[in-house]
Structure 1
């Protein structure tokens, strides 16, 4: 170009070279942005240095080099570490636990799916519905076992779109799903900065895009039914319900717990052990049928839930292969909605047991009939401070666990009291086997207390 600056052919070649360099630079930046999972970066920094740094940091943080076995011994062998995780999740997902039959009269105490709603749930799947579900999946979402992202299918929709549409329609027509499509790679996310045991890692399911589209279509139809089915005490994943409604109501109910001359009252914060992972499939199926969902729709859901196989991704290497026998998966679009419906059985169970007894409501709760608040697996129970009332709620939780497979984590569950004498408190703690909670406490990520507290008292919440 310097020798022949007016050569048109060279100018055209230079323009093409610049376009190619720009394209490759943007492709490299996009690649490392996806690798970095920097969701907060949209159109800001186009360079790759920042993303390289995040990739290195994430890689160093996510490497699992050792694990503590059940007997307390520590292993640093990568194969042994993999075996520990595989055995843990085989026991969690791949073991069947017998449960009791649910009480169908409990579901009968609340609203059901109206027969007129069946047409909407079972309406033929359209090409537009499938395409919208696909394009609603973020380009930066984790890859499934097949290695293809949603961005690939979007970019090549003119080529692969018809095949995807036909495959998805075939599932909704037959109700059968290939096991290969529903194979899941479990990615391990540490719950804390120090996670020595397998139980200290949260399993996130990485599924194929084809399955995600199917699940999103079912979830979209299921979402329309929740507002008419779910109790108002549940604030998660229901249109019209907000998380802050639960927070504000809980804050109002614990106001004054610090006073000495008040009527006795209890607030119980219940933690469910591995909530999503231990739900019985039989219980889920019976709840869906008991609420009036059409059998064909229930069949679609149960096919997606039960035809599952798993492998564990550990430091970029897959370990193990086993079939699931219980639980719903974190990362599945349907899972939060199905969990809400399972908890609806518990809400109706408590209401039924309370109405059948001489239960004493928590102050300010009697008029509205409030016994509990729930947001996903975060539970709060409210009652007057007497042994009879607390036995009703605790026994209801046990009954719910016997039919659902869910169990209370006693080590992380706490009871908060107001206006209760020490000797009575000790008797209650012995009865429920929960810890004695102390304010301030964190609920749904927000610290709250029965009275104003100094900023210094809250620093340990804000810095955690």
Structure 2
């Protein structure tokens, strides 16, 4: 039974729930997962294009085709029936299938590299970067001229027609640089997105065209203080505190260290909080310290505690990625 026939036959039972869901959608912009599904017609084409082994393709399509559901009525499950539209959103395998489908969009955008008339964003031309993506987060780059922006939108429209996936209008923004107000207005009409202002957060870190201010570094310090605050109620030995600082606190700043050169001022603040927690057990910077932080960061063979020197790690991590 296809989904349209199901709704017609069961309308007397599901009418109130469906109407309420649609009303909530127009209010919140969110659709219940139970009736929110994604077409997966792109899967065979993308897997063939990516040259996945035939056996692997058969496995994936089998997982999609054999999906069935059973409805619990009065605590009794009904006879299972096949799912005509494939996987429901939230299925464990849906994330993997989504990544495969997004590969199709990525390849379409990379097709601009073969177009000699396409003009890149001036900071992306040497590397030929048209986009950056991570899961469902996507950044598009183009020269601030209408023809090139239109090409990007046409690519997104083509992807929508093939997959029924499109950008969320309320969560998508356009960021300009060095273009006139007339061009800005035309671009907003093409995409339909709101205008964004830098700096902006992407994957948890701020993106800015200028040197990062104190306020932009503040979240890193706040995360450190918040984590220490959650430990202060626990009565731990010096060895336990050192182990927490070594593993957890290093993990908090490691991601930022690979992207930015953290100013010495902020590294010292983070180290001061860590040092104070080790010796006092509180989340307040104090002068109480039985051993200097520099000594604590030396190897155990040299009499230290083998903690990681954040400044040296930051320099090494930044050099590795740049």
Match of 2:148 among 380, 389, 394: 389
Point out the structure with the larger strand share. Answer: 1
2:278 paired with 1:448: no
Where in structure 2 are the equivalents of 1:59-74 lying within 5 Å?
none
Where in structure 2 are the equivalents of 1:404-419 lying within 5 Å?
404-419=163-178
> Is the 1:307–1:324 Cα contact (8 Å) retained in structure 2?
no
Distance in 2 (alpha carbons) for counterparts of 1:312 and 1:199: 27
Cα-to-partner distance string for 1:240-292 (whole Å, 9 max, x where unaligned): xxxxxxxxxxxxxxxxxxxxxxxxxxxxxxxxxx7xx42x3221122112322
Match of 2:122 among 363, 374, 377: 363
- Other-structure match for 2:105: 346
Give secondary structure in 2 for the equivalent of 1:403: helix
Where in structure 2 are the equivalents of 1:267-282 lying within 5 Å?
277-278=37-38, 280-282=39-41
Distance 1:407 1:359, change over 3 A: same
Give secondary structure in 2 for the equivalent of 1:347: helix
Distance in 2 (alpha carbons) for counterparts of 1:330 and 1:321: 19
Where in structure 2 are the equivalents of 1:281-430 lying within 5 Å?
281-310=40-69, 323-326=83-86, 329-332=89-92, 334-430=93-189
Number of residue pairs aligned between Structure 1 and Structure 2: 203
In structure 2, stretches of 5+ residues that fail to align are 1-12, 224-322
Distance in 1 (alpha carbons) for counterparts of 2:19 and 2:194: 30
Distance in 1 (alpha carbons) for counterparts of 2:94 and 2:159: 19
- Other-structure match for 1:434: 193
- Alpha carbon RMSD of aligned pairs, Å? 4.0
Distance 1:456 1:344, change over 3 A: closer
> Is the 1:371–1:381 Cα contact (8 Å) retained in structure 2?
yes
Distance in 1 (alpha carbons) for counterparts of 2:42 and 2:32: 23
1:199 to partner: Cα distance = 5.5
Distance in 1 (alpha carbons) for counterparts of 2:88 and 2:139: 23
Distance in 2 (alpha carbons) for counterparts of 1:450 and 1:317: 60
1:370 to partner: Cα distance = 0.6
Distance in 1 (alpha carbons) for counterparts of 2:194 and 2:140: 14
Distance in 2 (alpha carbons) for counterparts of 1:395 and 1:434: 15
Distance 1:195 1:310, change over 3 A: same
> Is the 1:361–1:369 Cα contact (8 Å) retained in structure 2?
yes
Give secondary structure in 2 for the equivalent of 1:423: helix
Give secondary structure in 2 for the equivalent of 1:410: coil
- Other-structure match for 1:200: 30
Distance in 2 (alpha carbons) for counterparts of 1:411 and 1:443: 16
In structure 1, stretches of 5+ residues that fail to align are 1-78, 89-193, 205-273
Q: TM (normalized to structure 1)?
A: 0.37
Where in structure 2 are the equivalents of 1:220-239 lying within 5 Å?
none
- Other-structure match for 1:83: 17
Distance in 2 (alpha carbons) for counterparts of 1:440 and 1:83: 42
Distance 1:433 1:409, change over 3 A: same
Give secondary structure in 2 for the equivalent of 1:365: coil
> Is the 2:33–2:88 Cα contact (8 Å) retained in structure 1?
no
Distance 1:317 1:197, change over 3 A: farther
> Is the 2:67–2:87 Cα contact (8 Å) retained in structure 1?
no
Give secondary structure in 2 for the equivalent of 1:374: strand
Distance 1:345 1:331, change over 3 A: same
1:87 to partner: Cα distance = 7.1
Distance 1:199 1:385, change over 3 A: closer
Distance in 2 (alpha carbons) for counterparts of 1:351 and 1:380: 13
Give secondary structure in 2 for the equivalent of 1:419: coil
Distance in 2 (alpha carbons) for counterparts of 1:358 and 1:308: 46
Distance 1:326 1:410, change over 3 A: farther
Distance in 1 (alpha carbons) for counterparts of 2:112 and 2:216: 43
Point out the structure with the larger helix share. Answer: 2
> Is the 1:195–1:201 Cα contact (8 Å) retained in structure 2?
yes
1:197 to partner: Cα distance = 6.0
Where in structure 2 are the equivalents of 1:39-58 lying within 5 Å?
none
Distance 1:443 1:324, change over 3 A: farther
Q: TM (normalized to structure 2)?
A: 0.52
